[in-house]
Amino acid sequence: MKHLHLLHSDIARPERFTYPFCYEPHPLCQLAAKEVQQYIAAQEEIREDADRGKMFGVLVVEGGFLAAYSGLLAGRNDWDYFVPPVYDAQQPDGYFKTKEREISQLSKATGRRAELSTKQMSQDLQLWLFHQYKLLNARGETKDLVDIWQEYYSRPKLRRKFPLPPGGTGDCCAPKLLQYAFLQGLKPICMAEFWWGKPTKEELRQHLNYYPACRGKCKPILTWMMQGLDVDPDPETLGFQRMELPILYEDEAIAVVDKPSGMLSVPGRVEEYSVETVMRQRYPDCVIAHRLDMGTSGLLIVAKTLEAYHPLQEQFVKHQIRKKYIAVLEASPQQGRLEGAGTISLPLRPDPMNRPRQVVDMEHGKRAVTDYEFLTSHLVALYPQTGRTHQLRIHCAHPDGLGCPIKGDELYGTKADRLYLHAAEIWFRHPITEREMHLISPPPFGATP
């Protein structure tokens, strides 16, 4: 079996298969990934293409491991070292490429009728292609991609929002790996995916870091394919550690808390425990006036009443509330950002295929502006003018920002013991007394990295 590679190790197997959307790579996967990385480094054509940024995956099975890449590699999908695609649409004389050339020729014609005709033909060809992706699960059952997708999004509202898969669905690492394993009768043991190459403006990922499977394209597919496997539970459903929530300021209208890293600001999709739930045990009508990412620590304003909440919201809307964050960067930033101060303006929007990640989009993104000031080569003060999701994290990590992720940022950088981002100071007008307020919380990770 040419795509199966030996893996010599006495490392104990995991009890259950990997939950691919939130995991720590098993040592067996790390060992297999090193083998793949050595292979990539030794193959010039593969390495040159991968250096531009590519996701690779490994699946440890009984008897060895399998390797895969996302999409095409150097314009090909027939590398002997890696498992084949679920469906090969790249055959020059195959139906897909033949019809693609026909549509391309027709598109050169002018007129509204030709435009409508080529658009319909392209949609029909894409639907035909989706039906060719006949995916197995661990029980030996088969469904095509369209049926899997529409069964996953079976509720009418979701069906209208996600009627068909986006292009490229089924070509990520994980579906390729599981499909080949099931076709060959191999038993999956654990799986992991890593990024090779430089971060791109679209993919703020770090070389050799491990990442979860994408939720947008892969979750419907893998939910089907993993049926019949004993899979690890979703860690997000296991509950979060209960933490102390210090209150730095309090009066009859508001409280300002010092949120610890690892605590939600408001209840999440599956987790109720949060700053809001803790504070509502004391003040049933309270409302969180703004939010911090779960990994971010620091100052958070809680309005005890709606009378206090609405004036605070007005200040946020008018950008009258100022905030200062302290961040430790993974390393010294790119040349030209090593010291001093400046402003980053990179518009952001959600990545619908890979939530909760955000992406820079100069055309469709919402305005996001951050002032920065270097305190040392690794320590930076950040002053957001806007409040977009993951704004500070992306403005630090993006090549057109500081070009260096915040330490511990597992989405856009490298995971550590925590996200080294702290909301250290906040200036606002008291919603009832209108007194000018300025509160300070020193970073728990100290003044130096």
Q: Please measure the distance between the N-terminal and C-terminal CA atoms of the chain and give it in whole angstroms.
A: 49
Report residue 334 as tokens. Answer: 């790119």
Q: Name the strand (E) or helix (H) holding 313.
A: helix 306-317
Residue type, 282: R
Task: Tell me the C-alpha to C-alpha distance, in Å, between residue 115 and each of 90, 105, 107, 153.
Answer: 25, 12, 7, 31
By residue count, the chain amounts to 449
210 vs 202: CA distance, rounded Å:
17
If we measure between CA atoms, which residue out of 350, 323, 326, 338 comes closest to residue 404?
Answer: 338
Measured CA to CA, the distance from residue 407 to residue 415 in angstroms comes to: 7
Pairing between β-strand 297-303 and β-strand 421-429 as defined by DSSP bridges:
parallel
Backbone angles phi, psi at 45, to 5 degrees: -65, -40
Per the structure block, which two tokens stand in for 314?
A: 């007005």
Q: In terms of Cα–Cα distance, which of 206, 218, 211, 125 is closest to 171?
A: 218
Active site residue 78: no
Q: Considering the candidates 251, 293, 351, 371, report the single residue annotated as catalytic.
A: 293
DSSP string, 296-309: -EEEEEEESSHHHH
Positions marked catalytic = 293
